[in-house]
Amino acid sequence: MNKPIYHMSGSGYCLRAIVAESLEYEPIKHTQAEETLLLHATRCENLAAMQMQDEGLEIIDGGHCDRCGRNGFHVEIEEDDFILVGHLDRKVIINGTEYPVEIKSLGRFRHLMFKKKLFEPFPEYATQEICYMRSQRKPGIYWVMSRDTGEPLKYIINDFGGELKIPGFTHIELDLTYNEIVSNLIVAQYYIQTKTLPDEVHSNGCKWCNYRYLCEIGNETLPEVGDLGLVQAANLYREGKDARDKAEDDMDRATASILKYAKESETSKFKITDIASVSYGGLVSRPRVDEARLKDERPDIYKQYIKMTKPFEDIRIYLKKGG
């Protein structure tokens, strides 16, 4: 059986969000404004890497990860019950040894907050960094750039052996261990197996949480509507979605049986009585354009070829499980 995969960047989220993701609740889609902000943050990370190079650090870029479609050095840690996957923003080579580099580009107020309180208001950053350092078995370099002023904050994290001495960097130690992260994920596994959501734990992260619609915090500002017609429509939507999920599941299982026959009998075309005809073309892969990478690396070309669709009504309906 395949082990579940957790992302290092999300392993510090609240347990409820981790479990919701694993149970395949639908994440809230990013708005266009959020997509633009994410792209801007990625570009700011490139600027921060240039700042590091300007200070004489030998920085290497992991480039694009073809396995995951993300940017950075792909790293994994395999535990007994799950696998943790992450992508290091950069690495730095110091005295011939590579160390993991994590870059954050924050708006002015969050940058100031980090300067004053370090990881305390950003527990998910601490979790991510602990996982990255564990994957490399090395202390980490942490660079926090202000998106507004460019001011960098520079840290060396958990250098217990005192192997790193870089002028201008502050040594700090995180008040969190890798074993605590693993224990938390083992608790998440329990909820996932029993298909239940843990209680809400409100935090700063709730504002950006992709599953906030499942929580009081995500709904407390929404006006509640009890119109009978809308309640019926919502129930009809749920029934339709359940029926579609079941139909997709049936079709997947049927396809697997027919595929098994086609492969084992080495038959590429055949009929199944008068119900269906089958054409099997073997294991194939098709080229696709990596839109996110094109948008990031060659925005000039991306803009030339982008076409707007016809206007459509942008409505999204998120179902609360068991609601």
Query: Least Å distance between CB 33 and ligand SF4?
Result: 20
Query: Least Å distance between CB 65 and ligand SF4?
Result: 26
Q: Which residue is nearest to ligand SF4 (CB)?
A: 209
Count of residues interacting with ligand SF4 (CB under 6 A): 15
Instruction: Tell me if 17 contacts ligand SF4 by CB under 6 A.
Output: yes
Residues 6 or more apart whose CB falls under 8 angstroms from that of 144 comprise 103, 104, 105, 106, 111, 114, 115, 152, 153, 155
Identity of the residue, 118 or 215, whose beta carbon is nearer to ligand SF4 in the bound complex: 215
* Contacting residue, 8, 14, 59, 174, with ligand SF4 by CB under 6 A: 14
Identity of the residue, 156 or 192, whose beta carbon is nearer to ligand SF4 in the bound complex: 192
Provide the mask over 184-203, with x wherever binding to ligand SF4 is found by CB under 6 A and - wherever it is not: ----------------xxxx
Query: Least Å distance between CB 84 and ligand SF4?
Result: 19
Query: Least Å distance between CB 18 and ligand SF4?
Result: 9
Query: Least Å distance between CB 220 and ligand SF4?
Result: 11
Query: Interface residues for ligand SF4 in 202-241 (CB under 6 A)?
Result: 202-203, 205-206, 209, 211-212, 215, 217-218
User: Distance of CA 167 to CAs 159, 164, 171, 179, 218, Å?
Assistant: 15, 10, 11, 31, 44
Identity of the residue, 17 or 164, whose beta carbon is nearer to ligand SF4 in the bound complex: 17
Residues of the shown chain interacting with ligand SF4 in the complex, contacts defined by CB under 6 A: 14, 16-17, 200-203, 205-206, 209, 211-212, 215, 217-218
